[in-house]
Structure 1
Amino acid sequence: MDKSRSLGPIANFADRPMQPRHGGQITATKHHYFEVVYTPNEARLYVYNASQLGVNARYIKGDALMTVRSSGQSGRFPLEVVAQPTYTGDLGYLVAKVDVSQVQDGDMDVQFELHKLPSEEPSVSFTQAFFLTRPPLPVRRESLFAADQQPVIQQSICPVTETRLGDHGDPIKLMVGDRPVYVCCEGCVQQVQNDPHGYVQKTSHIVQVNSTARRASPPAPQRPQITLAQLTANDRALVQQQGTCPVMDGPLGGHGDPVKLMVDGRPLYVCCQGCVGQVEQNPYFFLDKAARKSRDVATQPTAYVATEIQPPVPNAWFYERRPPSKAATGGSCCSTGSGASCH
């Protein structure tokens, strides 16, 4: 097999991420990866093909346009080839020699314009935000705890996808150096590992913007108080009146004793423990749904036989989310047949 052959076009960088070989910032185009290392005196550019193999820099031409955001000053600097001895196996790199020691991280845009690349993509233009290249920050994954709830609310946005944390399930907590960064899903972890400094900076900016917006906004309404309560024989009539689980739309008692919740002092019954989290996310939505359902099924008996049980430990982890779609709340949470279990 010819190892120098490139794979097909890079359709999605998230599907084929690349670890920086020199600790720089990675940018992907349709057929190439580019790694830029910023030092106080120069910007080095390494070129790779879609297979993440180095491309000989000897024949590539181009320049770098640097624009300082705060002052508006800009300059164009030629990219010079720095060749390496053949026996080293290093294909060389391009360099723009310029003193950037006085430029603050994030205060400059650097646009690279390249020509005479391999034929599948002979010309390329891409832009990066300037950040001095530093020794890579360690990125480690940690478990979420109740103490993370407030930091997640303060960040609220995934720095990779820029979508709301919690929209795709529980966020993932990454410790980048000594700074927590929360991302929305598994696909974002590699992105942070590729550019830890950049995502720490972006996360700090998001938290700062959110903090400013909250100070300018009226206080949010108080969250409803939700607690798990113990079932007793006195709940039989209320369970029969409600009739169905408002989360899964199945009959209460069909999967064993229902779970009783108190939402601001009002009882609400769900079919199993797996539905508790849904109610915690949208309590008033499900209270209203149960009230409407109970009017329709008040005369229908259920399979419930009340017994006294100890409530499970409440789930302290929840997020503000939009009311679930019909598809999300329909259907059954349980399999059928022997040995089946809920959720």
Structure 2
Amino acid sequence: MSRAISFAALMLALSLGQSAFGQAEQKETDAEKHDRLKMNVQAICPISGNKLGEHGDPIKVKVGEEQVFLCCKGCLEKKIDPKHWETIHENFAKAQSICPVMEKALPAQPKWTVVEGQIVYVCCPPCIDKIKAESAKYLAAVDAAYEQYLKDRRSSPSGE
């Protein structure tokens, strides 16, 4: 009887450990998906203007509070080209297209904030506080907008 209880306890402990391990793997997969979406929306290197992926796997870097991707290690020590930086942010705003809080179209000159390395555009300053208070919810909404944008872009005849 004692062996059966010990065996059952061991099996329970192992299954809980595997469950926790599976959850850790899922979080990593979610992070990889987020990075893939950001890379595809960003599209170009802020240094060279080259398409991301043309020179191997893009490199994730931090610029101020924001996480972006470079096309290669050769760009690590170089300065950002303001023209490419502007294009990247236009890409992010176009792909996001709506305020994740109010769920309405972004204005021509949207306000923005950076949360967990991600730039998030909003329709008005009060939405910034809401995004910071519930960042996971609104970052997921931005990722969903990116995913829809990329899907729509792939299915359009011009690819744009």
User: Could you tell me the TM-score, scaled by structure 1's length?
Assistant: 0.22
Ranked by relative contact order (alpha carbons within 8 Å, sequence separation 6 or more), the top structure is 2
Which has the larger helix fraction? 2
Could you say which structure has the larger radius of gyration? 1
Compare the two structures and name the one with the higher strand fraction: 1
What TM-score results when the alignment is normalised by the length of structure 2? 0.43
